[in-house]
Amino acid sequence: MLSVKTVCPGGDVCVSGHDSGPVFEEQPNSLIYPEGLTEGKVTLNCQARASPAASYRWLLNGTEVQLGVDRYSLVAGTLVISSPEPTRDTGSYQCLAINRCGTIISRAANLKFGYLHDFSPDTRTPQTVYEGLGTFLTCQPPLHYPALSYRWLINEFPNFIRKDDGRWFVSQVTGNLHVAKVEPNDTGNYFCFTTIHMDISTKSTFSKANQLTVLPDANSRLSAPSIKVRFPAETYALAGHTATLECFAYGNPVPKLRWRKVDGLMPSKAGPSVDSPTLSLPELSFDDEGSYECEAYNSEGREKHQGRISVQAQPEWLQVMSDSEVEISSELHWNCLAAGKPRPSDRVEVNGPRLKISNLALEDSGMYQCVAENKHGTIYSSAELRVQVQAPDFRLNPVRRLIPAARGGQVMIECRPRAAPKPSLFWSRGTELLTNSSRVTVSPDGLLWIHNISRADEGKYTCFAENYLGKANSTGHLSVRDATKIMLAPSNADINRGENVTLQCHASHDPTMDLTFTWALNGVLLDLDRNTGPYQRVEENIGDLLIANAQLSQAGVYTCTAQTVVDSSSALAKLVVRGPPGPPGGLLVKNVAETSVQLRWSRGYDNHSPIGKYVIMGRSSLSKEWKSMRTDPLNIEGNAESARVTGLMPWMDYEFQVIASNILGSGEPSIPSHIIRTQQAAPTVAPSGLGGGGGDRHELIVTWTPMAREYQNGDSFGYVLAFRKTDTSAWTEVRVPHVDSSRYVYYNATLAPYSPFEVKIKAYNRRGEGPFSQIAVVHSAEEGDINTTALSAFEVQVSWDPVQQLSTNGILRGYEIRYWRQHEREAAADRVRTAGLEPTARVSGLRPSTRYHVAVAAYNSAGTGPPSPRTTVTTRKPRETTNTGFDTIFGALTFDLQTTLNTINISYGELL
């Protein structure tokens, strides 16, 4: 803390009651100005309220700025810097506002210059990686200030990498581009695109090409997650700002991510970012401080990484100084307290955060400032001190002229003249000087108390004040009235929730005065002036209170107060409202098993009606809806405080609530328990949808429906597929270690076309294997032959064995070529029809470096026949020339032309 006193300049006098010291209305803000914008201007605002008006000075790094010289000018209190230069103008600026009552200094505003240089012109080293692996491309950003934001382009502008593609991640810390698992069509040229945001402008630039080539790998292996982008072990963030943590993993299949708070519940403000590579916590509070964990997982395993967010704060005032007028020769006490993290430091000690000045003199008048600072900022508090000297004066605060008081009660009469130094005070009744007695008390600060008042106490009372500068007095008249008494007090009441009740309250009072009634519940005054709400006055001239549709929150002690200007009288009544029980507390989950858990809780308020039973509600991670759970015992009695929940799914996340009820209804549910996961168990059901068929020559293709999450029962999940020829007895078993797998291809060069196989399937996880499904019969691929050759990056040649006769339904008209990318479904295949019987064709308009599946079917006027076994082909890489964009456009035009011709051929065929 720092206390600074600033005095009046040049002997000019600050006039009490007329002048006032400066108070800031606008202070300068920090600014980042673009480097190289030499013809512009920087404006730092400063405006203060003062009487007489303030004059202004400016400091740069503590040294006064020479206004009107060189490039600095002053407009009112605002500093204008023309043609700003980084070497001369960078620094910390403060404004001083001055008048004859004192000087105050503003907060510091930092002027910095922002810049973004160009990327290095050097060619970047090409990178090659095999399909299925993870990799990253470095951005290597140029010199810059302040921080950059990063995006990546692929091949040409504005083809940016999509943020919603889970395979890709752009780090906003390093700028590097990460891919969890590369695919053949990822081959291309990548450019790091950087943007800098300043207060008055934005600038962007992009790097040289990062060439990435993906080599096909038919034996691409599955791999567990490996976290490559890790957040620090400790991250410091400011309260009120946003904290961001980054986490990204490589793996095959592409890992999924989830975040959790290790030492508490994840803040709801995190929103959908809990499942993305970037965890974002806006509007940070100290409750958000703690350890956070990122978990990457796929069917092959999981990996975790932890770090801590420490929330810090700029200084903020807990207690500030206020303007004070203090009499001469007295003592001043000012407190100035600030909070922050780290704790604000005391740069100059004046008894810590307290300022004390004894035996005040006129020259102590002036402006004072208190300063609190930590590494995150500095704050200022200002106040004006005026030391007063004057003779006693009652003109602004005389003794009350008429002082009513109730018989039998007490009264206080104030005597508070303006005077400095503090005057001596005396009281008289008529000509009698009053002193302390059994019924009269005269305090040193001028208060006169009269107790147990009677009619004889009526009369004139005068206060006399005196100091060394003079004397003064003031007189008031005491009038004694009849006392106020409660005549009909409210009675205690006992009702059920939703019922109405009237509490009566009548009183007698002095007829010369108005009587008002007020009501309070548990000491809190009720608002009876609104027309809506549960509380209503019955009549204006009596105090009866109607409580309509009473709720549990309306139970308690009601106080009726009858009041006049001189006294009051009160009476109490207790209202009991019976209703459904309150929520149980302290819900804990114990003894977590595969399909059951034990719950314990503590009884809530019964609200004056015994608890009859409890119901346990629960929900899993698969649904947001709360459902009634099966329990042991089936019916939970009202005196129970534990029960077992049964019928749960293994390896599933659950949370629970407990609801109590009595004869008046069900209460509010308890606070939900912590989320728990049941123990793992072997699968109990078999996969469904078993079938298959088709494929390439010598292949047996088996398909099934992947198991839903609720049937997996554990991690390390996969499938055991068993198959055998129908004329053999030995089963062949294979493991498919991927939860999302739905297809298995068995290849055998000796396999005859359309051979029948018996197949069955079961699931397995870490805890064991489940039952086999029913046996299904699947045939191997039919006979057929198809060849494909890549001619360029955009075109392939397809040839096949001709079909002699499609069917008896018509003459063969041609062939239909179906092609689709490796990771697409066959149902989404593009189709090209030939108009003749030539067993060869070209397919154009394809993507470069992309693997395609191709199948051929014959057609006639009756429709299309069965497709051939499919084959695969990978288009070539694009030529590495400056004409890449032209090739892409030419390929697209070729594809459009081919599509048009195909449409014509189909129309022609239909005409035949």
Mean pLDDT of 199-221: 86
- Read off the pLDDT of each residue in 183-205 and give the average, rounded to a whole number: 91
pLDDT given at position 609? 95
Confidence tier at 887 by pLDDT (50, 70, 90): very low
pLDDT of residue 53: 92
The residues near 148 (Cβ < 8 Å, ≥ 6 apart) are 116, 141, 175, 194, 195, 196
Residue 588 has pLDDT above 60, yes or no: yes
Confidence of residue 892 (pLDDT cuts 50, 70, 90): very low
Taking 70 as the threshold, does the pLDDT of residue 467 lie above it? yes
Element (H, E) at 890: helix 884-911
In percent, the amount of the chain with pLDDT more than 90 equals 63
Q: What is the pLDDT of residue 360?
A: 83
Give the whole-angstrom CA distance, residue 739 versus residue 712: 8
Inform me whether the pLDDT recorded for 551 exceeds 60. yes
pLDDT at 547: 95
437-451, 801-815, 820-834: range with lowest mean pLDDT: 801-815
Confidence at residue 399, expressed as pLDDT on a 0 to 100 scale: 95
How many CB atoms sit inside 10 A of residue 361's CB? Answer: 11
Looking at residues 679-692, what average pLDDT do you find?
Answer: 94
Of 683, 893, 643, give the one whose Cα is nearest residue 769: 683
pLDDT computed for residue 810 by the predictor: 63
Which one, of 905, 650, 864, 624, lies nearest residue 766 by Cα? Answer: 650
- For the whole prediction, is pTM greater than 0.75? no
More confident position, 801 or 495: 495
**pLDDT tens digits along 402-425:** 999 999 999 999 999 988 888 999
**Counting beta carbons within 10 angstroms of the beta carbon of residue 27, is it exposed (0 to 12), middle (13 to 18) or buried (19 or more)?**
buried
pLDDT for the residue 1: 41
What was the pLDDT predicted at 794?
93
Model confidence at 910, pLDDT cuts 50, 70, 90, reads: very low
Average pLDDT of the residues in 357-371? 83
pLDDT the model gives residue 897 = 37
Q: pLDDT value at position 907?
A: 31
The confidence score (pLDDT) of residue 3 equals: 43
Band of residue 780 on the pLDDT scale cut at 50, 70, 90? confident
pLDDT for res 352: 62
Which tokens hold the place of 546? Answer: 């109607």
Average pLDDT over residues 483-495: 95
Question: For residues 152 and 780, which has the higher predicted lDDT (pLDDT)?
Answer: 152
pLDDT reported for residue 583: 96
Looking at the DSSP bridge assignments, the partners of residue 449 are 412, 441
pLDDT digits (tens, 9 = 90+) for 425-435: 999 998 899 99
pLDDT in tens, 127-155: 999 999 999 999 999 999 999 999 999 99
Confidence of residue 906 (pLDDT cuts 50, 70, 90): very low
**For residue 280, what pLDDT band results from cuts at 50, 70 and 90?**
very high
- pLDDT band for position 890 (50/70/90)? very low
Query: How large a percentage of the chain has pLDDT more than 70?
Result: 93
**Pick from 909, 898, 889, 694: which is nearest to 812 by CA?**
909
81 pLDDT more than 50: yes
Residue 347 has pLDDT above 70, yes or no: no
pLDDT value at residue 78:
94
Please state the rounded mean pLDDT for residues 49-69: 91
Q: What per-residue confidence (pLDDT) applies to 218?
A: 65
pLDDT, mean of residues 496-518 = 94
| Residues whose CB is less than 8 angstroms from the CB of residue 622 and which lie 6 or more positions away in sequence, other chains included | 652, 709, 710
**CA 432/CA 588 separation, integer angstroms:** 76
pLDDT on residue 371? 87
CA atoms within 13 A on the CB side of 172: 14
- State the Cα torsion 512-518-524-530 to the nearest 10°: -130
Residues 658 and 229: their CA atoms lie apart, in Å, by 42
Lowest mean pLDDT segment, chosen from 7-16, 550-559, 704-713: 7-16
Two tokens at 566?
A: 């001189």
Q: Is the pLDDT confidence value at 806 over 60?
A: no
Instruction: Identify the CA nearest to 876 among candidates 906, 832, 846.
Output: 846
pLDDT number for residue 350: 54
Lowest mean pLDDT: which of 128-132, 546-550, 598-602, 750-754? 750-754
In DSSP notation, 830-860 reads: EEEE-SS--SEEEE-SPPTT-EEEEEEEEEE
Mean confidence (pLDDT) of the chain: 88
